[in-house]
Amino acid sequence: MSGALPLDDALRSGEGDAPVLEARDVTKEYRGGDGAVLRILDGVSLSVRRGEMVAIVGASGAGKSTLLHVLGALERPTRGDVWLAGRSIAGRDDETLAALRNHAVGFVFQFHHLLREFSALENVMMPLRIAGHTPQEAEGRAADLLERVGLGGRLHHRPAALSGGEQQRAAVARALAADPAVLLADEPSGNLDHANAERLHDLFAALARDMELGMVVVTHNRSLAQRADRALLLEDARLVDADMREGVA
């Protein structure tokens, strides 16, 4: 399925110290309704290694989601480049970009976007079936992933029969189905109560470490940002180190 765009061997096997995600001098501009250019990102560079969780914080409207979309090749930068799992996205056609994205990146959003008429297991199996795995392979891997996120006892529940925290953890399992090198999350705990948010944050920290994912998490949640290896503040279209100590920022 992904034969056209295999990950670099060293990256797949976790060898070497190469970053799994890099933004190189990325600028992103939109044209406003009046024709004026809005520069949302201005020469942003970022490098994320396997096993590393990076938090992005910043005011509403600062461009955090835009940055995440560019990092995950959902949007193209106006200038600069993004490297995903050892591949530059520059000059790729839409189809190749989609293949790279499907192969290398898992996304988690604030709302789970699970399909409500399917069970947790079927939701996680879906990307695997689309990627060409047999039903047996897909079911085995999906069950393992749901077990990994603490939902081994909820495989056959539909989303409506899961708590908000469980729904979000099922969405994490689905994001991991294609065995991505990079996990990107946009306000993943923004819709959860404190206890479920903390459980999700524990899971993220464990996944980054155990599955050697390069992780970027956009969050307003101080506890999640503090748990990251690095927190960066997006301000005035640039990334700067954020000080997430209590009472600061």
- Of 49 and 222, nearer to ligand ATP (C-beta) is 222
Q: From the CB of 12, what's the least distance to ligand ATP, in Å?
A: 31
Q: From the CB of 34, what's the least distance to ligand ATP, in Å?
A: 12
Which residues make up the interface to ligand ATP (CB under 6 A)? 30, 38, 40, 58, 60-66
- Of 56 and 181, nearer to ligand ATP (C-beta) is 56
- Of 77 and 159, nearer to ligand ATP (C-beta) is 77
- Of 60 and 136, nearer to ligand ATP (C-beta) is 60
Q: Which residues pair with 183 in a beta bridge?
A: 106, 215
Q: From the CB of 67, what's the least distance to ligand ATP, in Å?
A: 7
Tokens representing residue 81 in the block? 């480049």
Q: From the CB of 60, what's the least distance to ligand ATP, in Å?
A: 3
Tokens representing residue 44 in the block? 């942003």
- Of 128 and 237, nearer to ligand ATP (C-beta) is 237
Q: From the CB of 161, what's the least distance to ligand ATP, in Å?
A: 29
Q: From the CB of 183, what's the least distance to ligand ATP, in Å?
A: 18
Question: How far apart are alpha carbons 206 and 214 in whole angstroms?
Answer: 12
- Of 146 and 225, nearer to ligand ATP (C-beta) is 225
